[in-house]
Amino acid sequence: MAQSPLVSVVITAFDAQEHVARALRSAATLDADGPVEIILFDDGSTDGTLAAARAEAGDEPRIHVIKGGRQGRAKALNKAITASTGHFIAILDADDIALPHRLRVTVPILQAEPELAMVCSEAIVFEGTPPQPPAETSALAQTDRITPAMLYASNRITHSTVLFRRSAWEQAGGYDERFDICIDYAFYFRLLRAGGIAHTDAVTCLRERREDSYFAVKHRRDYADTLSRIRTEARDTLSIPLWARLAAAARSFRLSMRHLGALLHAPSGAA
């Protein structure tokens, strides 16, 4: 009888035909002390994403491609996780690259500390051509905790590095389907109500920054409002000290001023 997966790598994709095969290839290189399955959930793409994913999957039995129809990111993630069977869930965005040692670094942390709901690590951000991956230095990596106050002040977690327990996802109620952006940020607060979040400074991902992405466009329109709603709920359910509230307010003000400056200097008609 086949052994149940230790880890399910979950990728949701919307109009990501240029990147999805690369993400799948990187997921297939992940090394772990147990079976790994890969779930690719196509979120109603209108380009060749689904065909590219199926072609990359080929006869690889670990890759499961799901044609989901347009759901929205949070619902797509929840559906993909529901379809998966792994004890741990590793998220990988469709335009990012997982490094082979990612699971060797993060899985043991959750296995060693049952009170943790999630662990995250570091990523190198790039634009255009992916950089040469750094040498693995996990033996020298340091691990610390991310508190509700730290998360409230600033979200420095890269979504494509997170690994969480299926049981914690269930206890937290999954990703919040009310939101279309900042869903990772809202989810981390949900997880903090289920357990702790650890962080290791090992680099386990290459993250592509794309200004033309769907979420980058949405960010410019709705980011501040969504962030405010998430933080209001965090204050209502978690202990957030004054210093964290002030730090978050200062950061939001700087982002607002930056956005206002961009609008004022935009060419006529660009806004």
Beta bridge partners of 88: 7, 165
pLDDT in tens, 136-170: 776 778 999 999 999 999 999 999 999 999 999 99
Query: Which pLDDT band holds residue 1 (cuts at 50, 70, 90)?
Result: low
pLDDT in tens, 108-120: 999 999 999 999 9
R_g of the chain computed on alpha carbons = 19
Question: Which one, of 82, 80, 89, 76, lies nearest residue 9 by Cα?
Answer: 89
First to last CA, the chain: 59
DSSP string spanning 88-139?
A: EEEE--TT-EE-TTHHHHHHHHHHH-TTEEEEEEEEEEESSSPPPPPPP-GG
Contacts of 134 (CB under 8 A, 6+ apart): 124, 203
pLDDT in tens, 61-86: 999 999 999 999 999 999 999 999 99
What was the pLDDT predicted at 260?
61
Whether residue 190 has pLDDT greater than 80: yes
Whether residue 53 has pLDDT greater than 70: yes
Query: Which pLDDT band holds residue 265 (cuts at 50, 70, 90)?
Result: low
Give the residue-averaged pLDDT of 239-255.
91
What was the pLDDT predicted at 214?
53
Please state, in angstroms and rounded to a whole number, the distance separating the CA atoms of residues 13 and 95. Answer: 9
Q: What is the pTM of this model?
A: 0.91
Beta strand extents in the chain (DSSP E only):
7-13, 36-42, 63-67, 88-91, 97-98, 116-126, 143-145, 163-165, 196-208
How many residues would you count in the chain?
A: 271
What was the pLDDT predicted at 271?
34
The overall average pLDDT reported for the chain is 91
